[in-house]
Structure 1
Amino acid sequence: MDRPTLRLTSVTIGTDEPGRLAAFYARLLGGSVTADDPATAAGPGWAQVRVPDGPTLNFEGEVQFRRPVWPAVPGGQNATEHLDIRVEDLDAAAAWAVEAGATLAEVQPQDDVRVLLDPSGHPFCLFL
């Protein structure tokens, strides 16, 4: 069988604050929030960001969301995904991410990568 055409168009990230996380990533990546449906009695909310030159980011509200722990620890709510973001200037990009609302992770395993945590605690990496 020949492989059918498949194209990754979006990534969905679970959070307890979809609108807040969408606003963060829109600012960080220079994108725009294209949907922001707040939580209601009918559901936990959902938001979406379109970024230049990348997949759409969706943020799905999760009632039982627990802030992930990175690096992983036994028995912790360990991170199950992270985003990798290529940058030209690692120090400037890390400073911008912190200004946008990220936190620099305590553990930095590589010299040419910066690990940061978004406002919901998901790790993401900036790399050269």
Structure 2
Amino acid sequence: MTISTARPHEQAHFYARLLGGRVTVEEEADPGDPNGITWAQVKPPAGEAGMTINVEHEREWTPPVWPARAGEQRSTQHLDIQVDDLDAAVAWALECGAREADVQPQDEVRVMLDLDAHPFCLFV
């Protein structure tokens, strides 16, 4: 999965912390990137199977709006993350820097927003 962002370094480290993974690659930036990184990769802990997340700099980044509204930037993907304890998972996501979306459509699901407002769902 690839996530576009204005700040790939921060997003990569956010997802690595949130998911217990590791940032394995950070490529140096072009002159327009204030963070010094244009692309980063997050992998599961060494020796474990799991999804790889690529995080790339998007110069013209516009955060998505969730839920979608006509005429607004829409999210093109989102992660669904199964958890054992929803309250604990929400607390951990908040500690990592996420925030809860204003709209929560289901009791057993929490829609969270990452550092750049990409939605992701925690569910039991």
What's the TM-score, normalizing by structure 1?
0.87
Question: CA shift at 1:42, angstroms?
Answer: 8.1
Please say which structure displays the higher CA radius of gyration: 1
Q: 2:73 aligns with which of 74, 77, 80?
A: 77
Match of 1:117 in 2: 113
Asked if structure 1 preserves the Cα contact closer than 8 Å seen for 2:32 and 2:59, the reply is: no
Match of 2:85 in 1: 89
TM-score (norm 2): 0.90
C-alpha displacement of 1:54: 1.8
Aligned to 1:6: none
Distance 2:66 2:97 in 1: 17
- The Cα of 1:79 is off from its aligned counterpart by 1.0
**Alignment CA distance shift 1:42-1:98 (3 Å):** closer
**Correspondence for 1:50:** 43
Task: Give the superposed CA RMSD.
Answer: 1.5
Assess if the C-alpha contact under 8 Å between 1:19 and 1:38 holds in 2. no
Stretches of 4+ moved more than 2 A in 1?
Answer: 41-44
Give the partner amino acid of 1:108. Answer: Q
1:48 aligned partner, one-letter code: Q
Q: Which runs of 5+ in 1 are unaligned?
A: 1-10
Check whether the contact 1:19–1:37 (CA below 8 A) recurs between aligned residues: no
**Identical aligned pairs, as a percentage?**
56
Distance in 1, matches of 2:79 and 2:31, equals 31
The answer on whether the counterparts of 2:18 and 2:96 sit within 8 Å (CA) in structure 1 is yes
Q: Distance in 1 between matches of 2:24 and 2:113?
A: 23
Deviation at 1:98, TM superposition (A): 0.4
